[in-house]
Amino acid sequence: MSEKKSKGLHRRKFLGGMAGAGLAAVGAAGATFALLTDGNTSKAAAADNTLNIPDLLEGTTSDGTTTFTLTAKTGTGEVVSGVTSTTAGYNGSYLGPTMKWTNGSTVLLNITNTLGADTSVHFHGAHIPPKMDGGPQNAFADGTTWSPTFEIKDEAKTLWYHPHALGTTAEQVVHGLAGMIIVEDESDASAALPSEYGVDDIPLILQCLASSTSGDVKYDLTGYLSSGLVYPVLCNGTNVDATTLGFTATKTRTRFRVLNASPSDIMTVQRSDGGTLTQIATDQGYLTTAAEVTSIRLVAGARAEFVLDLSDAVTLQTVVTTGWVRGGSGTYDFLTVTPDASDTPADLPSALNTITRYDTTDFTARTITLGQRGTTMLINGSAGTSMASMAMISTTLDAEEIWTVTNSTQLEHSFHLHDVPFQLIEINGVAPTGTDLGWFDTYEVVGGGSIKIAMKFTDFTDDTYMYMLHCHLLQHEDEGMMAALMVLDS
């Protein structure tokens, strides 16, 4: 059983690891972003430890297009409590504002890079053209602005945005470059669910990082194997190692959107009293019906949504499981939700979504092998440390495929597919049940295990720009566990 963190234990050193950790990836390739500061200092929580809610970024709409403006910048903040770290963020010193997109609308993003190094911005989980996806081919230099524009084809769901340049993803994300995206639609389910941002629709960005006690945030194997590390846990940018944040719910029913933005560790969300969470969505949108669950396990990059109908205070916990060579461990009380409401919400809809399960009888079959060669991570035998060296998968518009993703290592992997959502067909040889019958873009593949996933490639083709498929343990991605996917006209 995981040990509950008591106050004062937030700097406990954890020297555990996982099987085969000695073969994990070595330090990320590529230039590091400049350790500059611009006077921005992050103090995420109020003095009374109230939950910090990321700002909602206001767009400007003209001629049917909504424009959002982001600047990737460096700053300083507290990752380890009481210690100043060099950090980075979008429009601030740590993390980024939340964006709201609407199904059927068109958005334009003007994103300026002031990091001192190349970056890109990937819209994780979004179904958009590959030229706008923000992968390695979309990297842009310091001092320049990238301006992707696209129609929002996604239905209601929780997405996020983060860097995705070759060799520097882990470094840039752990220093704070990440933010949430909420996609809204006009479905009956959306109309029936809480949707007032910051009031009854609450983002929870969870992270477990690695740092020296002096605040130097680590991102590669050299850093993770250094001595004297601590593994701070953060919620919306606030350290919760020895602090439980508070949120006053002014509506009886509150919706929570949870993102695991950790580089590698697994976060499992649960109630401290053992009660249930009413899960309504996975990575890629609503479940068919709301599900009562006692916990929600999120590998790196994964998201979920749940609601709570409260008459009494409830404390949410995250159980941290080491995902890489070293990492966090234990149970943390990160948020107490205290109701202050008198309304009586209507019953949740009996149906939230219609998910037609794929009949994969005639689907094209592929095998994707997650492997390693010494300290290099591989997909199908190739290391994706450059566009030229990575394996490339070619498919066609409207192709229906079933992939067996096999983990030939004993390491933990978090498999992420760009472009389209997938259905789970098998998990380690067993058919999925419960919430695993939803739509996903990121899913766990345990050491020696496998998953079978099915998908259909719709809407977008390109003979130059490619999507990515990769491990979302960011160190593994940087060290080669990434391949390219090109969707061509049929």
The CA distances from residue 428 to 52, 238, 264, 472, in Å, are: 39, 36, 21, 19
pLDDT of residue 165: 98
Residue type, 274: G
CATH topology of domain 25-186: Immunoglobulin-like (2.60.40)
pLDDT tops 50 at residue 34: no
43: confidence class by pLDDT, cuts 50, 70, 90? very low
pLDDT tops 90 at residue 9: no
Q: CA–CA separation, 294 vs 272, rounded Å? A: 10
Q: What is the mean pLDDT of residues 211-218?
A: 98
Q: What is the mean pLDDT of residues 76-96?
A: 97
Q: State the DSSP H helix or E strand holding residue 476, giving kind and residue range, or none if neither.
A: helix 474-478
16: confidence class by pLDDT, cuts 50, 70, 90? very low
Determine the length of the chain.
490
- The pLDDT tens digits for 162-177 are 999 999 999 999 999 9
360-488 has the same fold as 25-186: yes
pLDDT of residue 23: 27
pLDDT of residue 13: 32
490: confidence class by pLDDT, cuts 50, 70, 90? confident
pLDDT of residue 98: 98
pLDDT of residue 433: 98
- The pLDDT tens digits for 383-397 are 999 999 999 999 999
Q: What is the mean pLDDT of residues 106-115?
A: 98
- The pLDDT tens digits for 226-258 are 999 999 999 999 999 999 999 999 999 999 999
pLDDT tops 50 at residue 459: yes
In 3D, which of 412, 470, 325, 375 has the Cα closest to residue 15? 325
Domain 360-488 grouped into CATH 2.60.40.420: yes
5: confidence class by pLDDT, cuts 50, 70, 90? very low
Q: State the average pLDDT for the chain.
A: 92
Within 8 A by CB and 6+ apart from 39, the residues are 75
Q: What is the mean pLDDT of residues 89-100?
A: 98
pLDDT tops 70 at residue 366: yes
pLDDT tops 50 at residue 19: no
Tell me the sheet residues that pair with 486: 394
pLDDT tops 70 at residue 107: yes
pLDDT of residue 244: 98
Dihedral, CA atoms, 428, 432, 438, 441, nearest 10 degrees?
A: 10
pLDDT of residue 39: 33
Q: What is the mean pLDDT of residues 192-215?
A: 98
Percentage of the chain exceeding pLDDT 90: 90
Residue 211: is it exposed, middle or buried by C-beta count within 10 angstroms (0-12/13-18/19+)?
buried
Match 């991570």 to its residue by tokens.
377
pLDDT tops 60 at residue 95: yes
Every domain of the chain and the residues it spans: 25-186, 201-339, 360-488
The CATH number fitting domain 201-339, selected from 2.40.110.10, 3.40.50.150, 2.60.40.420, 3.40.50.720: 2.60.40.420
- The pLDDT tens digits for 257-313 are 999 999 999 999 999 999 999 999 999 999 999 999 999 999 999 999 999 999 999
Q: CA–CA separation, 234 vs 205, rounded Å? A: 8
Give the SS3 label for residue 435.
Answer: helix
Q: CA–CA separation, 357 vs 403, rounded Å? A: 15
Contact assessment for residue 377 and residue 481, using Cβ atoms and an 8 Å cutoff: yes
pLDDT of residue 293: 98
